[in-house]
Chains A and B, each alone.
Chain A
Amino acid sequence: NAGVTQTPKFRVLKTGQSMTLLCAQDMNHEYMYWYRQDPGMGLRLIHYSVGEGTTAKGEVPDGYNVSRLKKQNFLLGLESAAPSQTSVYFCASSFTGELFFGEGSRLTVL
């Protein structure tokens, strides 16, 4: 049972480039989330989804877009990367409140 899988695990971008992070879960969870983790800041919610075809903004949504075309997948996109988006990104899914996390994707924007 894979749980929550994130790809890629590492990526280096130049300012202005675009990219997509993919999150896949095999637990049939309705809710999925994207958080970013920065030193001393804890985890901050970027966007979340309460079901297939739905998305909503979290605490720090600017500069990101998301899509949930299939229940098991939640994509996080950066259209024009900025150095301030250098971070570790975590995807999570849930059914009853407890979140299950992926192992993270480390993104560096030069």
Chain B
Amino acid sequence: AQSVTQPDIHITVSEGASLELRCNYSYGATPYLFWYVQSPGQGLQLLLKYFSGDTLVQGIKGFEAEFKRSQSSFNLRKPSVHWSDAAEYFCAVKNSGYALNFGKGTSLLVTP
């Protein structure tokens, strides 16, 4: 079955530093991959998605992600983190049906 693993439960980054959140997927064919962000008490907002084509995907809020088939990864990156980026981040893969399977999330803390 399609699944995603987010190895890091918590990550702490200083404001202005670069960020990389890891996501590994398990899927036989070319996956449809997503990154969502959730601020405290809020719903989930789509940051970016990969369906096919260019393996480097640009998203909102300055985020990007790179699809690497050889490593079964879809890591999220940002060159310079802002305090407002503190949130929970979820990687997801479209399953063989009609829904998304989500990872357990990575909580990002941004320090001054």
A interface residues with partner B (beta carbon < 8 Å): 4, 31, 33, 35, 40-45, 48, 50, 56, 58, 90, 92, 94, 97-104
Contact = CB atoms under 8 A, between A and B. Distances in A.
Interface residues of B, number: 23
Q: DSSP class of A's interface residues: helix, strand, loop or mixed?
A: strand
A48 B49 CA distance: 21
Contact of B99 (A4, A33, A100, A101): A33
Interface string B32-51: 10101000011111100101
A42 B46 contact: no
Contacts of A92: 44
Contacts of B90: 42-43
Contacts of A35: 102
Interface of B: 9, 32, 34, 36, 41-46, 49, 51, 90, 94, 97-105
Nearest to A47: B99
B9 A40 contact: yes
> Sorted from nearest, which 10 A-B pairs have the closest CB atoms?
A101-B43, A42-B104, A43-B102, A42-B102, A103-B43, A101-B44, A45-B99, A31-B98, A48-B99, A42-B105
Nearest to B1: A59
Contacts of B32: 97
